[in-house]
Amino acid sequence: MEKRIIECVPNFSEGRDLNVIKQIAGVIESVENVKLLDVDPGRDANRTVVTFVGEPDAVCEAAFLAVKKASELIDMSKHKGIHPRIGATDVVPLVPVSGISMEETVQYARNLARRIGEELGIPVYCYEFAAFEEKRKNLARIREGEYEGLKEKLLDPEWKPDFGPAFFNEKTGATVVGARNFLVAFNVNLNTTSVRLANAIAFDVREKGRIVTGENGEKLSVPGTLKSVKAIGWYLEEYGIAQISMNITDLSVTPVHIAFEEVTEKAAARGVRVTGSELVGLIPLKTLLEAGKYYLRKQKRSTGVSDEEIIKIAVRSLGLNDIKEFRPEEKIIEYAMNDRKVDKLSGLSLRRFMEVTSSESATPGGGSVSAYVGALGAALGTMVANVSANKKDLEDRWEEFSKWAEKGKEIQNRLLELVDEDTAAFNEVLAAMKLPKGGDNDYEVREAAIDEALKNAIMVPFAVMKEAFRAFELLAAMVERGNPASVSDAAAGALAIYTCIRGAFLNVKINSSGIKDKKWLTKIINEGRRIESQALEISKGILKNAVRSMGTS
């Protein structure tokens, strides 16, 4: 069953006092089953965005403790900042990540809102999917009048809080709690100090647009060019620049790179140049990869390169290092969530992998090594495709080679995953064999566990065979159509793939002796023989074509 994980991204109205920020982050980290991913203070906004993830109950407990700590440490009557805000803890959004529906997340948000209101005496409004009425879905509408107008707002029966007291708490203000989809806070830097110009550009692009006066004096709404984007302009005294501050609420509608390009175009039309951008909080890996590939395609370069290289292109193209260093391991949500304590074979250096393989431990063995050989074979095909895509006399076919490179990258990455999966499968067999076998029930449990583990130990190398076989199409194409100077590399890749398939099949066979389901086993073995036989013929054909192309014998 998929693990239930939600993300919480509370915004606190303090971005200057690092001691206060540290204490708030500390109570979040104190909760078990919660991982603090990012703390992003902004001095001019006087606001800190914190990102943490974990199991729903634990995340809600951490969020409550953080709101409580903020109510003790932050005095809104003394707060000044350029970002719209309504309270010490301005907003607490919950975002479903995995294993949980939006409907369930809404219930968690409302329960959290109730607890904040009842136990802390803070007026709480629910927004987005957790809103109880349509007019409260939009966070900007709830924030209208901001903290300074909150006292009067609370006197209006239409703005009675969803939870908590309907009177003005001068120290804490109010808090907004909700459930929403993933949102990216993305700011674009301008070479101007003019907030007027920044706001004009923001109104050009934001979905809401601007209000204009018609010929007859009537007020007309003119929408902006970007859907699912909220934006305002402001001045950052710390850096001496104006920014377009955007919230992108649906990345499938407006990706980050499209927002950046549109702001760049609208800014240029007003005589302003974009110098870079800033990401507040975290961003999904997919979003940056899409951006990197977009800019690679604009340069007519292959997109079948490593994720690391694609991310570098995205960071450079978006200018994400313009005012502060962008660290992928901290700002990309998947990377930040990784448990760096877990060692994987695929993360070892070549030398260390060799040394671990040659040790007295039974793992990694032939299965993992075969998968790695296959990954290298596919990588050779990917390399030839990338070299061909960037070769001047083949540039009219760069898109074709780019597609081949993407396919090769997909295959090599999957084979690399199977390196670790094969070792894990063998370890499962060893663990099953160590189960007690004294009583009748113990014997049955142990035999069932061994049989299941052996089947998995067969299916992993069998998956290696099938995945590696896919690389032959790429390697054959590179021998026939790729850069002539790299034909030998593609041929070597084909030989590596054949070695991978033969080695993986040996592992299928050696784990088959204890399988009781002979019908299932016969089907796997027959399919394995077919793949091995075809691999031999195809690799011979690729090698023959390569030798002919090189003019040697």
The catalytic residues are 83, 422
Instruction: State the virtual CA torsion across 209, 9, 54, 416 in degrees, nearest 10.
Output: 60
What is the β-pairing status of strands 175-179 and 89-98?
parallel
Chain centre to alpha carbon of residue 283: 6
Q: For residue 134, give the amino acid letter.
A: E
Helix (H, G, I), strand (E, B), or coil: what is residue 39?
strand
Query: For the packed helices 440-469 and 471-481, what is the interaxial angle rounded to 10 degrees?
Result: 20
Contact call for residues 531 and 465 (beta carbons, < 8 A): yes
> What distance in Å separates the CA atoms of residue 257 and residue 254, rounded to the nearest whole number?
8
> What distance in Å separates the CA atoms of residue 425 and residue 412, rounded to the nearest whole number?
20
> What distance in Å separates the CA atoms of residue 43 and residue 421, rounded to the nearest whole number?
46
Pick left, alpha or beta for residue 98 (phi over 0 → left; psi -120 to 50 → alpha; otherwise beta). Answer: beta
Count of C-beta atoms within a 10 Å radius of residue 272:
21
Helix (H, G, I), strand (E, B), or coil: what is residue 386?
helix
Contact call for residues 462 and 508 (beta carbons, < 8 A): yes
Helix (H, G, I), strand (E, B), or coil: what is residue 254?
coil
Helix (H, G, I), strand (E, B), or coil: what is residue 512?
coil
Compute and round to an integer the Cα radius of gyration of the chain: 29
The runs of H, that is alpha helices, within 299-396 are 307-318, 328-331, 333-337, 350-357, 366-389
Token reading at 314: 């995205």
Helix (H, G, I), strand (E, B), or coil: what is residue 166?
coil
Helix, strand, coil shares of the chain, percent, nearest 5, are: 55, 15, 30
| Nearest Cα to Cα of residue 326 among 288, 290, 297 | 288
Contact call for residues 515 and 454 (beta carbons, < 8 A): yes
Cis peptide before 364 (omega within 30 of 0): yes
| Nearest Cα to Cα of residue 180 among 5, 3, 59, 7 | 7
| Nearest Cα to Cα of residue 85 among 156, 23, 149 | 149
Contact call for residues 182 and 95 (beta carbons, < 8 A): yes
Contact call for residues 229 and 287 (beta carbons, < 8 A): no
What is the β-pairing status of strands 175-179 and 124-128?
parallel
What is the β-pairing status of strands 210-213 and 219-222?
antiparallel
> What distance in Å separates the CA atoms of residue 332 and residue 338, rounded to the nearest whole number?
10
